[in-house]
Chains A and B, each alone.
Chain A
Amino acid sequence: MKTVIIKYNAGNVQSVMYALERIGAGYLWTDDEQEIRTADRVIFPGVGEASTAMAYLRDKGLDRIIPTLKQPVLGTCVGMQLLCRSSEENNTTAMGIFPVDVKRFPAGDQKVPHVGWNNLTNLRSELTAGMSDNPYVYFVHSYAAPVCAYTVATCEYMVPFSAMLQKDNFYAAQFHAEISGKEGQQILENFLKLS
């Protein structure tokens, strides 16, 4: 099986690579269109700021390629946000696979960014099969997608938000499965096992 990690200016892709190595999965880190199109699995990681990441994707033409992919695609963190319609972070227009707009957490008495381990509820994805009922996973983000028709896992921090989204062959997680202990590892294993 060929798993491709999309190469762009996202930070700390190394953690994703090591997480795949820990479960014995090979991968290719590339921005080559042909390699991406012929992959069995595509991981679209992301750490950083939305508008910069989106500008980079446009520059490389990746913003046109990603929405046309037919194999299972997993977007994580900012990768997930860029699969949505837009992000409030510097008014970024994103790829629009999920028809939902990413918002900043409301100003309140809670701290932003939302940093640390929080639990998932309303699990409805193949990717969460085999996890505990309300698994804890690691989040670091200031922006989040509201709960919508494509939400397959919910998390709550001041407001409920989409911890995971799913539509056709597109899967997305706001948290960092690659550093979320055994529970996170289960999600990556499930993604690689999708038929």
Chain B
Amino acid sequence: MLTKRIIPCLDIKDGRTVKGTNFVNLRDAGDPVALGALYAEQGADELVFLDITATVDNRKTLVDLVRNVARHVNIPFTVGGGISSVADVSALLNAGADKISINSSAVRRPELINELALQFGSQCIVVAIDTREVPGESGIEHVVHTHGGRKPTDLRTIPWAKEAQERGAGEILLTSMDADGTKAGFALALTAEVSGSLSIPVIASGGAGTMEHFTEVFTTGKADAGLAASIFHFREIGIPELKSYLKGEGISVRP
């Protein structure tokens, strides 16, 4: 049976993980390769590396990092942050990334999704959507934001997710900016609505604080995967205990 995926997310700045971690057994907690390998060993199903600096100068550092991760990690991983061209994607995939994630560049020029899907196949194209609730004339609207959540756009989340799928996205990484950092749970209603509107998998992100939140996002939220960062980095929840808990809750997970 296809399992629900648990995905730790590592934020990268100048080739190092940031936001801090609390792994006493790691010689260097800032080393993304060591942390990624540790998560893989513990049963993470995939990893996401997000380059939060994403400047031109850092591109080479990122490609080197991807090469190192691919060398040492034996599970699939996605790389995102500042990717805006076929050439960017080509460099990252050739370095060993399994998937790439695009966000602002896809909003700016949606044809990029088509170009990447045609060139590399939909299976490796993740479109990340950062969404925030904004009061509109007819109630709450889910507004797509770019530039790390700083810039609101004219796009609304459901139609944009559908358009991304139509253009060739293989998965949607949906981050609720309202839930992100709260540890109060994933944005269940929105996640369920996006997932129900699409025929491609949805990775839910933002708000994970307890193991119950993962149960909710996989049942009520209809998510195919759940992504989180700090709860794993600070060992508030261990991946083995999370998986064994989910199994007990009747959720299909990889041991």
Contacts and interface: CB of A to CB of B under 8 A. Distances in A.
Interface of A: 11-12, 14-15, 18-19, 21-22, 47-49, 111-119, 136, 138, 140-141, 156-157, 176, 178-182, 184-185
A115 B98 contact: no
Contacts of A115: 123, 170-171, 201, 224
25 contacts: A11-B93, A11-B120, A11-B121, A12-B98, A12-B124, A14-B96, A15-B96, A15-B98, A21-B71, A47-B124, A111-B199, A111-B200, A113-B123, A113-B170, A116-B2, A116-B224, A117-B5, A118-B2, A119-B1, A136-B254, A138-B76, A140-B123, A140-B170, A141-B123, A179-B74
A1 B1 CA distance: 37
B122 A113 contact: yes
A179 B5 CA distance: 14
Contact of B95 (A14, A117, A156, A182): A14
Given A111-B200, A115-B123, A22 B3 contact: no
A117 B2 contact: yes
B96 A136 contact: no
Given A11-B120, A14-B70, 5 more contacts: A18-B71, A49-B121, A114-B2, A115-B171, A180-B74
B75 A138 contact: yes
B224 A179 contact: no
Interface residues of B, number: 34
Given A111-B200, A116-B201, A117-B5, A136 B255 contact: yes
B129 interface: no
A176 B77 CA distance: 13
B125 to A, nearest CB: 11
A181 B96 contact: no
Contacts of B5: 116-117
The interface residues of chain B, by DSSP majority, are classed as loop
A141 B45 CA distance: 17
B35 interface: no
B1 A156 contact: yes
Interface of B: 1-5, 40, 45, 70-72, 74-76, 93-98, 120-124, 170-171, 198-201, 224-225, 254-255
Nearest to A48: B121
A179 B72 CA distance: 11
B225 A116 contact: yes
B48 to A, nearest CB: 14
A181 B74 CA distance: 5
B124 A11 contact: yes
B199 A116 contact: no
CB-CB nearest 6 A-B residue pairs = A14-B96, A136-B254, A117-B254, A140-B123, A48-B121, A118-B2
A174 B121 CA distance: 16
A18 B93 CA distance: 13
A181 B75 contact: yes
Contacts of B45: 116-117
Nearest to A21: B71
